[in-house]
Amino acid sequence: MDASKYDEALAALRDARDEELKQLDDEMADSLASLRNHLLVIGSITFSATVLGGFWLVRLGLSPLRRLSDAVSRISVKDFRLGFDNQRTPRELAPIAERLAETLGLLKRAFAREKQAAADISHELRTPLAALLTTIDVTLRKQRSPEDYREALADCRASGQQMNQLVERLLALARLDAGVDVLRPQSVDASELAEQCASLVRPLAEARGLELRFHRNGPAVLQADPAKLREVVTNLLHNAIQYNRPKGTVDLSVARNNGSLEVEVKDTGIGISTEARQHIFERFFRADPARSADGLHAGLGLAIVKGYVDLMGGTIAVESAEGQGSTFRVRLPAA
């Protein structure tokens, strides 16, 4: 082969190779573009699926919270129930729902107590108020002698005192509730203080044919609020007289035992049933409302006693046998 033919053949081969290379290049570019498109589509689908899945998972996870929030928004002063199915609650949320239901139960009882207290207060005030108005109406019906007017005024005063006592007791309880009733401790001889209380109520006991005995066990000096201690002892003595039997006795003793002060009021009265004993420290509770229908015994005395004993860091306990009598025992820290 001569040289010119050889060059031609070489050029033809080069052209063919270039053509092939170009074709290969184009094919590769096409494949890469198609791969990029595929990757883009797959990426978009994966991203969308992740977003949607995550959103769905979060919604699923939050759905018990949403149900709980719906249940909470359905609560009202008329219905304290938490309408929430605890069976379908995740373990993490169950204690919250339980605690919420407990708190609602407490709120419900507090609301019921408030409502009952308003009804009880109105009921207790109605008796002396009616007596007061009747006395005034009857007295005003005609001209009367000065003695009649004096008598009528004395009756009005008694009704006023009764209402005043009730209001004072309600205020004492309100102060205890609000936590504004502070103790004013000072050095007190509890024996001496109790003896003074006994002397004060003895005429009342004697008027009912009862013997009131005071048992002194030496001085019992402690740091205490004398006004509160006096209120506690006097209330217990009044009850021991009020719920006693004719010719019965009331024994009051004070002693210091192992760093604590013990005040005991023992009576020979009607006693308190086991059932009533669970409630005697509740406001407006009376074991026998008919017995204390005089309006002076509204069932607040022991609630105040318990409130003051608690405030002083002490305890109160009662032992009783029906038809035989009751013993109230107050223990206060002597320090």
**Least Å distance between CB 278 and ligand ADP?**
11
> Which residue's CB is nearer to ligand ADP, number 46 or number 278?
278
Using the rule CB under 6 A, is 298 a contact of ligand ADP? yes
Q: How far apart are the first and last CA of the chain?
A: 133
Using the rule CB under 6 A, is 80 a contact of ligand ADP? no
169-188 b/e with 16+ CB inside 10 Å = b?
bbebbeebeeeebeeeeeeb
Closest CA to 252 of 231, 270, 237: 237
Q: CA-CA distance, 312 to 314, in Å (whole number)?
A: 6
> Which residue's CB is nearer to ligand ADP, number 89 or number 326?
326
**Least Å distance between CB 305 and ligand ADP?**
7
Residue whose beta carbon is closest to ligand ADP = 301
**Least Å distance between CB 232 and ligand ADP?**
11
CB contact at 8 A, 317 and 250: no
**Least Å distance between CB 298 and ligand ADP?**
5
Using the rule CB under 6 A, is 292 a contact of ligand ADP? yes
Other Cβ atoms less than 10 A from the Cβ of 226: the count is 17
- Of 30, 79, 168, 288, the residue at the interface with ligand ADP (CB under 6 A) is 288
Candidate segments 26-34, 41-49, 66-74, 282-290, binder of ligand ADP by CB under 6 A:
282-290
- Binding residues for ligand ADP, total number by CB under 6 A: 22
Using the rule CB under 6 A, is 302 a contact of ligand ADP? yes
Q: The tokens of 152 are what? A: 């009528």
> Which residue's CB is nearer to ligand ADP, number 169 or number 190?
169
Q: CA-CA distance, 198 to 165, in Å (whole number)?
A: 20
> Which residue's CB is nearer to ligand ADP, number 80 or number 285?
285
Using the rule CB under 6 A, is 128 a contact of ligand ADP? no
Using the rule CB under 6 A, is 191 a contact of ligand ADP? no
Q: How far is CA 180 from CA 183, 205, 311, in A?
A: 10, 34, 11
Q: Measured at the alpha carbon of residue 131, what is the angle toward residues 130 and 136, in degrees to the nearest 5?
A: 100
**Least Å distance between CB 202 and ligand ADP?**
17
Using the rule CB under 6 A, is 297 a contact of ligand ADP? yes
Using the rule CB under 6 A, is 67 a contact of ligand ADP? no
CB contact at 8 A, 272 and 321: no
> Which residue's CB is nearer to ligand ADP, number 159 or number 268?
268
> Which residue's CB is nearer to ligand ADP, number 190 or number 303?
303
Other Cβ atoms less than 10 A from the Cβ of 93: the count is 16
Of residues 307-326, those binding ligand ADP (CB under 6 A): 326
- DSSP letter (8 states) at residue 153: H
**Least Å distance between CB 113 and ligand ADP?**
15
CB contact at 8 A, 237 and 263: no
Q: CA-CA distance, 214 to 265, in Å (whole number)?
A: 10
- Of 253, 285, 311, 329, the residue at the interface with ligand ADP (CB under 6 A) is 285
Of residues 222-281, those binding ligand ADP (CB under 6 A): 239-240, 242-243, 267, 269-270, 272, 280
Q: CA-CA distance, 74 to 55, in Å (whole number)?
A: 27
Closest CA to 188 of 214, 227, 157, 217: 227
Residues that bind ligand ADP in the complex, under the rule CB under 6 A: 239-240, 242-243, 267, 269-270, 272, 280, 285-288, 292, 297-303, 326
